[in-house]
Amino acid sequence: MERIGIIAKKNKPEAMKVVKELIKWFKDHQVKCFIEPEMEKFVPHSSLGMEEMPHSVDMVVVLGGDGTLLAAARAIQKRRIPILGVNLGGLGFLTAITLDELYPMLENILRGDYRTDERMLLKAEVWRGEKVIDEFTVLNDVVINKGALARIIELETSINHEYLTTFRADGLVISTPTGSTGYSLSAGGPIVYPSLQSIIITPICPHTLTNRPIIVPEGATIRVTLCSKEEEVFLTLDGQVGFRMEVRDRVEVKKGEGFISLVNSPSKGYFEVLRAKLTWGGDLVPNR
């Protein structure tokens, strides 16, 4: 590792403090590092834009929460470089490294002693008539949901061109295994081990109680058509990007190209992270 990028939650003073410390640490270890241009007003240092950074560094360190990492992942997706996610507080499944682990972890990384998980992506195309009006790649999920004052919406759904059902619900979440612990979980979806290759379809508050979440193979193509005419409906990607849909717009979702490579925590396995984040029986861990 000779060149490392740093991405941080810029409105978090603690993050800027850690960035300053990281810059000094990398300098002491003869590693060149770069920050985002927006961070220069807080930390004067060499910077690279988000479009340029993935092509110019060997790894990216993300300081913040899962939202910060998701934004970084969208910029990095085609480069396949490792991402080290460092949690600065709050609930984080993707940013599983703690500040206490950061510098020992970096020492290991510089020695080449680290492991990564490859996480699948989803590609979403938005069709209006016979034209693709936009497309996105996400790490977590594609969500179609109604506005605050809208009534239940109707979403005609098919898998591999075979009709599934028309969901009458508040919306629909289509997620990766990585995203299964996000909005999908809140909507009643299953927790899926993140290295599995599958797609989860979870209705949000369905009118028909027998509409349950479905897990389909990675090769499936899910097509969802908005049938409601007068309701306010939005498409949201990774909880951060989106726009208002129109009646008969359809969203086609399938496995995206490539993957995101996340550096594993050196001290905690996936189930330990899961147990800690969801506070599962913390006092009942068996003796070994």
Distances 127 to 79, 131, 154, 164, 225 between C-alpha atoms, Å: 27, 5, 17, 19, 9
pTM for this prediction: 0.89
Which helix H or strand E contains 5, and what residues bound it?
strand 3-8
20: confidence class by pLDDT, cuts 50, 70, 90: very high
Please state, rounded to an integer, the average pLDDT across all residues of the chain. Answer: 90
**Would you please indicate which residues are annotated as catalytic (active-site) residues?**
66
CA–CA gap between residue 224 and residue 155 (Å, rounded): 6
Task: Judge whether residue 154 has pLDDT over 80.
Answer: yes
Cβ atoms 254, 75 nearer than 8 A: no
Closest CA to 85 of 233, 99, 159, 77: 99
Name the residue with higher pLDDT: 96 or 181. 181
Structure tokens at 116: 């990564």
Residue 67, pLDDT score: 87
Phi-psi map region of 146: left, alpha, beta (phi>0 left; psi -120 to 50 alpha): beta
Name the residue with higher pLDDT: 287 or 236. 236
CA–CA gap between residue 136 and residue 148 (Å, rounded): 24
CA–CA gap between residue 192 and residue 164 (Å, rounded): 22
Q: List CB contacts of 184: < 8 A, sequence separation 6 or more.
A: 141, 173, 175, 200, 202, 213
All domains of the chain, ordered by start, with CATH? 3-115+264-284 (3.40.50.10330), 121-257 (2.60.200.30)
Residue 1, pLDDT score: 81
The predicted-structure confidence for 171-212, as pLDDT tens digits, reads as follows 999 999 999 999 999 999 999 999 899 999 999 999 998 999
* Mean of pLDDT values over 53-82: 88
The predicted-structure confidence for 38-53, as pLDDT tens digits, reads as follows 899 888 899 998 889 9
Cβ atoms 22, 8 nearer than 8 A: no
